[in-house]
Chain A
Amino acid sequence: MKIKSGYLLREVAGSFVVVPVGEETLDFSGVITLNESGAQLWKKLEKGMSKDDVVKEMLSEYDAPEDVIRKDVDEFIEKLTGADLLE
């Protein structure tokens, strides 16, 4: 599972924003804002990690039960899929 190329994630003034760069900007002029855990998820998916590995890493980084994290990861992936951001 991997996020399409052509997007830049940056922390700006305490907010996490994703903006398109390169050719992508031609058909997408918007901006995505993420919270801190959303930004962490984005970074992992940008690297092409599998869903199970993402969940495993999030478990070690966040103090939350596995079923909660798995549900959050599922929702995040669903949103990315809806926005056509995954390869």
Chain B
Amino acid sequence: MHKLRVAQLNVEIDYKYETMTKQSEAYKCDFEKPDIVVSASDEAIEKMHEEYPHLSLNDCEYMLTGFIFYNKLLQYDGFMLHSSTVVLNNEAYMFSAPSGTGKSTHTQLWLKEFGDKAYILNDDKPAIRFFNDGIYAYGTPWSGKTDQNVNKKVPVKAIIFIERSENNHIEKMGATETLKMLLYQGFRSRGKTGTENFLDMSEKIVNKIGVYKLGCNISREAVLTVYNEINGGKLK
């Protein structure tokens, strides 16, 4: 068993393949009692590999451990939002969309624009947790196809759902549409309690966080459209 601290939770976890070994390094931590135990058995990993032969055992371990962790996270006022999350001036901008839309492409443009002031917190599967003093995003060992994640806790500034578009435009998203998008792009369990927790957290997002709908192309102007809208800025 390895001991990690992820999203302010003590995680006892089994892994042996390359990706988890590498990705977990920055999260190692000692503790007495685990909050969450993540155990993906060899049988479960092999069964998944048989079902999806194009995924290696390494991939299966990575995906299964992430699935177990994020399932249990729902019991700790947290959930995973499928997004590429970029941090600027210690505030997290979470760009969410179905795979292949261009989340990472967009956040890479932020790194180009803001240089040292920005970094990727998690390129695909950050955790969000809800506390009395605020809502926070976390890097985790599970960051999709890339290894871009940082073991940090950052207040959430905004959640932005992306669509491809020829022109750049951004608008605030209404409550009902926000809920729909969170249900599509957030990870909830199939159980009733997990789903109820997820909906409680969705309500907090609607009430406390700026949520936007962005249509964007791949350009510097796309970055500025978002930045200026959210910060009332006038960057050109």
Q: Which residues of A contact B (CB under 8 A)?
A: 8, 10, 12-15, 17, 19, 21-23, 25-26, 29, 31, 33
**Are A31 and B192 in contact (CB-based, < 8 A)?**
no
Closest to B198 in A: A19
**Are A15 and B179 in contact (CB-based, < 8 A)?**
yes
**Are A22 and B184 in contact (CB-based, < 8 A)?**
no
Q: How far is the CB of A86 from chain B (nearest CB, A)?
A: 21
Q: Find B190's partner among A10, A14, A22, A31 (CB 8 Å cutoff).
A: A22
**Are A13 and B203 in contact (CB-based, < 8 A)?**
yes
Separation of A64 and B105 alpha carbons in the complex (Å)? 53
Q: Does B180 belong to the interface (CB within 8 Å)?
A: yes
Closest to A14 in B: B175
Q: Which residues of A contact B192 (CB under 8 A)?
A: 8, 21-22
Q: Does B195 belong to the interface (CB within 8 Å)?
A: yes
- Given the known A-B contacts A12-B179, A31-B179, A33-B180, are A21 and B207 also in contact in the complex, defined by CB atoms under 8 Å? no
Q: Which residues of A contact B179 (CB under 8 A)?
A: 12-13, 15, 17, 31, 33
Closest to B205 in A: A13
**Are A15 and B195 in contact (CB-based, < 8 A)?**
no
Q: Which residues of A contact B191 (CB under 8 A)?
A: 21-22
- Given the known A-B contacts A15-B176, A31-B180, are A8 and B195 also in contact in the complex, defined by CB atoms under 8 Å? yes
**Are B176 and A21 in contact (CB-based, < 8 A)?**
no
